A = this chain, B = another copy of it.
Amino acid sequence: MMKKFFHVEDIGNLNKAIKDAKEVKANRYAYQNLGKNKTLLMIFFNNSLRTRLSTQKAAMNLGMNVIVLDVNAGAWKLETERGVIMDGDKSEHLLEAIPVMSCYCDIIAVRSFAGLENREFDYAETIVNQFVKYSGKPVVAMETATVHPLQAFADLITIEEHKQTARPKVVLTWAPHCRALPQAVPNSFAEWMNAADVDFVITHPEGYELDPRFVGEARVEYDQRKALEGADFVYAKNWSCPGVKNLSDYGRILSKDMSWTIDAEHMSWTNNGRFMHCLPVRRGLIVTDDVIEGERSLVIPEAANREISAQVVLKRVLEALK
């Protein structure tokens, strides 16, 4: 009974999920009876390209109706407190807004990024948990303050499709960026890799330690070269300081060290490794042109598998609705 999709455990047995992904990919239009007369409401508090297109496509593959709601966070401010006289700029209380939106759909998908100003607020998943609590409908994360499971599942599918050994070495490496980015993608990638049958290593400069609940038993290596040696898959991603060692650094950029940028030399340390990134990517900061354009790059197959991961998840939720 899949009622929400935030963490790897929500999808159940991972081998079964990967098997389902293969089946769905081979027969995308075989399950349209499941989605007939079912409506997916996609709510975006933040912009989206890949997630919007791939999730909408997945729902349509399943025969669902889709309603997209772009919420300009600036224009539609929700009151969250009780006992307040609402005479300011907040025109609706979430205790009405969420049950109302859920009236008109069968499944809710929500995107709401970390604000990166208050770690407690972000890591408590304050926004999306209100949807879980008050909507009465299944809720699917389309990137929240701390997780992006549709991406991590698509990445896992991609690794399964391209691995040459039973238990490949997968390295998540921090890379520099000009803006402060959330930790949702590395958090979920770590969580899913820990659950998968891979040799998983995380590497980043000191201070960028991810939250322990996501790192789990993964090996953390501060020397990027040591981490990359023998890697079958190199998963590059920037993230801002998770505030684990020093709460006051939460959301800050601690390093722009360009020696972490993945170039041909970095890839030469690996076991003829495949390059991965969730996109969008800043070339010259995260990765060089030759590596991302090279034949070992998997960035487009990863993006294509976003349709598949979304379809497996929506299919499971629809099956649970029956």
Contacts and interface: CB of A to CB of B under 8 A. Distances in A.
A100 B29 contact: no
B300 A100 contact: yes
Contacts of A247: none
Interface string A286-316: 0001001100000110011011000000000
Interface in A85-102: 85-88, 91-93, 95-97, 99-101
Nearest to A87: B178
Contact of A280 (B28, B50, B85, B96): B96
Interface string A101-140: 1011100000000000000000000000000000000000
Given A87-B178, A91-B280, A299 B96 contact: yes
A255 to B, nearest CB: 14
A18 interface: no
Interface in A254-287: 279-285
A84 B292 CA distance: 13
A69 interface: yes
* Chain A binding surface, main DSSP class: mixed
A244 to B, nearest CB: 26
**Interface range on chain A (Cβ under 8 Å from partner):** 35 or more
Given A39-B60, A60-B65, A283 B99 contact: no
Nearest to A60: B65
Contacts of A82: 283, 289
Interface string A51-72: 0111011001100010101000
Contact of A284 (B85, B95, B178, B284): B85
B103 A303 contact: yes
A285 B91 contact: no
A30 to B, nearest CB: 10
Given A103-B300, A103-B307, 11 more contacts: A41-B53, A49-B101, A53-B67, A53-B104, A57-B105, A87-B178, A87-B285, A91-B282, A92-B279, A95-B293, A100-B303
